[in-house]
Amino acid sequence: MDQEIIIALTKGRILKETLPLLAAAGIEPAEDISQSRKLIFETNQPDVRLLVIRGSDVPTYVQHGAADMGVSGKDMLLEAGGADLYEPLDLNISKCRLMTAAMVDRALPKGRIRIATKFTNIAKQYCAQRGIQADIIKLYGAMELAPIMDLADMIVDIVDTGNTLRANGMEPRDLIADISSRLVVNRAAMKRKNQRIKQLIESLRQAVEAAK
């Protein structure tokens, strides 16, 4: 189907909060995504299919047009940096903050500092903007462990309640960005399938407003 719309989603917390918005916009998966190992799902709309992929892959799928639209955390979009995407709607879900954090009451070293993070591009940009000299250390999880084990002086990570930081003797320092999930759209698809995509954006916009 030429006018088919493919929407890229992520499993977990974001999916849970996205499905009600999609449902309010008239799109419901034909089966329970959380109970399935499939990656592609039909919906009640004959022209809409859903992909379920890793959050960090959503900007890539949408930028290359392998998906027409997607739901992506702003953190993933900032990290993807150059991805040339249309970002028409803040879905106002999965809200958190991207922050620097360090051990409680421990001053940062005077010269070059070590920053552990999975957001290496964001960390580089943060340092460049503030003239901070840093070695960026890429980690894939449990960033809080790095300062404890003296692998790093500071981390850049997602903070929600701050409980994870506190439980590990750390404190938030600088706010880098407020994060929420965004609707992203491939630029070519936006032109080629304009009517249907505009209609979907508008339905989602109304669902977001109603949820406020």
Residues that bind ligand AMP (CB under 6 A): 13, 73, 94, 96, 157-164
Closest to ligand AMP by CB, 97 vs 124, is 97
CB of 182 to ligand AMP, least distance (A): 12
The beta-strand segments (E) located in 104-212 are 113-117, 134-138, 154-159, 170-179, 181-185
CB of 77 to ligand AMP, least distance (A): 13
Length of the chain (residues): 212
CB of 65 to ligand AMP, least distance (A): 26
CB of 58 within 8 A of CB of 12? no
CB of 104 to ligand AMP, least distance (A): 15
CB of 89 within 8 A of CB of 201? yes
Q: Residue 125 — φ and ψ, nearest 5°? A: -65, -40
Q: Are strands 86-90 and 181-185 parallel, antiparallel or unpaired?
A: antiparallel
Closest to ligand AMP by CB, 29 vs 55, is 55
CB of 162 to ligand AMP, least distance (A): 5
Closest to ligand AMP by CB, 1 vs 149, is 149
Closest to ligand AMP by CB, 95 vs 192, is 95
CB of 183 within 8 A of CB of 203? no
Residue type, position 27, single letter: I
Residue type, position 92, single letter: N
Closest to ligand AMP by CB, 105 vs 140, is 140
The rounded distance, in Å, linking the Cα atoms of 153 and 210 is 43
